[in-house]
Amino acid sequence: MKAFGVTNNKFESFTEFEKAKENPTGRDLLVKIEGISINPVDIATRKKIAEDLSDPKILGYDGYGVVDAVGSEVKNFQVGDKVFFAGDYTRDGSYQEYEIIDERIVAHAPKKTSIEKSVAMPLVTLTASELLFEKLQINPAQDNRDKTVLIINGAGGVGSIATQLAHLAGLRVIATASTPEKVNWVKDLGADLVVNHHHDLIKQVHDLGIKHVDYILGLSDNDPHWSEIVELIKPFGTFATITNLRESQIADLKQKSVNFAWEWMFTKAKFKLDSMSTQGDYLEKLAQGLDSGMITSTVTKVFHGFNLENIKKATQLVEAGHMMGKVVIKA
């Protein structure tokens, strides 16, 4: 079968190659890939490669396709099912014609929503869901109108769905956005208030009549905003992030007794935790939300044709760091 990978940390190392199709065992599915989306983690993973590889590394952590075969212990899927998922960091990714993946982190694909709109959403939705409902411990069934969350990089991939989920959970949402187009984007997704992360966040939030916020999500480089995060977070509030942070910075949160949490969506699958099945559950809810219109897909760019040229073009867009929403490749 056809696959696409990289042999070192340079963009120029992208290559197409042939690979044997695997047979699923245990709880694994073999999925014929019909669509993928590109995420910043794809680029970050490539850049971490320390030396030239003899076998190309297959990236890609969003996938949509048809179940082609199932392992002997599979319970929830059968051949022919349409599925979508966000992958497992320890295994080959979705830049290939067929992918092996554990059924516990897979869901039935939306029935009324297109491939491109669906495949844009798994990784970012899992990340946002774990941030909000596990790290911030938001209970969407409660009345959360008195709680405020500041989402830094609200127009990005994770920010775009985190804004929606926080809004649906009833929080007052402040999202950051830096252009008129992105401001309109996050407002349409449910942001109550918008501030510009290229300007003083403390002044802007205070000018809104808000002294402190209960929660902050750091979805971009935290360094430029660290003093703003420390000032704006409420005592006993929670700051959670998906990006790196210097160890020395965390001590700045001590005087306010701020809760701090990392989010890496691949942890459950990497360590084969029993809780990995929660990811399948989150994605089943996502499928229902997309089909009902409660959740808006955040795809903004689609390439047609699952080939090396389109993988390179899509990667360049994401690597530039200015994407609003998600970029997708449809086979």
Last residue of a domain, one of 260, 279, 310: 260
What's this model's pTM, rounded to 2 decimal places? 0.97
Pair of tokens at residue 284: 């089943």
- Residue 245 confidence (pLDDT) above 90: no
Contact 256, 262 (CB under 8 A): no
The answer to whether the beta carbons of residues 3 and 97 sit under 8 Å apart is yes
Residue 179 shares a structural domain with residue 104? no
The percent of residues in the chain predicted with pLDDT above 90, rounded, is: 97
pLDDT score of 321: 84
d(CA 39, CA 187): 23
What pLDDT, on a 0 to 100 scale, did the predictor assign at position 247?
A: 72
Residue 51 sits in a domain of what CATH number? 3.90.180.10
pLDDT of residue 39: 95
Mean pLDDT for 148-173 is 97
Cβ atoms 7, 314 nearer than 8 A: no
Confidence of residue 70 (pLDDT cuts 50, 70, 90): very high
Closest CA to 149 of 177, 174, 121: 174
Distance (Å, whole) CA 165 – CA 151: 12
Residue 159 clears pLDDT 90, i.e. is over it: yes
End-of-domain residue from the set 245, 260, 275: 260
Mean pLDDT score across all residues of the chain: 97
Q: How many domains does the chain have?
A: 2
Sorting pLDDT into bands at 50, 70 and 90, what band is 322? confident
Question: Which of 243, 260, 277 corresponds to the end of one domain?
Answer: 260
> What range defines the domain where residue 242 resides?
123-260
Return the pLDDT at 145: 96
In the numeric block, which tokens belong to residue 80? 């022919």
35 and 150 housed in the same domain: no
130 with 249, same domain: the answer is yes
C-alpha closest to that of 193 among 149, 127, 257, 241: 149
Instruction: Compute the distance between CA of residue 266 and CA of residue 140 in angstroms, rounded to an integer.
Output: 23
Antiparallel, parallel or unpaired: β 299-304 and 82-85: unpaired
Name the H helices within the chain: 40-47, 115-119, 122-129, 157-168, 180-188, 201-207, 226-232, 247-250, 267-270, 277-292, 308-319
Task: Give the pLDDT mean for 151-161.
Answer: 96
Cβ neighbors of 329 (< 8 A, separation 6 or more) are 35, 36, 37, 38, 302, 303, 304, 305, 306, 310, 311, 314
Residue 60: predicted pLDDT: 97
**103-118 pLDDT per residue, tens:** 999 999 999 999 999 9
Mean pLDDT over residues 70-97, rounded? 97
* Mean pLDDT across 177-184: 96
- At a CB cut-off of 8 Å and minimum separation 6, what does 283 contact? 84, 85, 86, 105, 106, 107, 122, 125, 126
What pLDDT is recorded for position 323? 83
Give me the mean pLDDT over the 202-219 stretch. Answer: 98
Q: How does residue 224 score in pLDDT terms, banded at 50, 70 and 90?
A: very high
pLDDT of 142: 97
In the predicted model, is pLDDT for residue 248 greater than 80? no
Quote the pLDDT of residue 164.
98
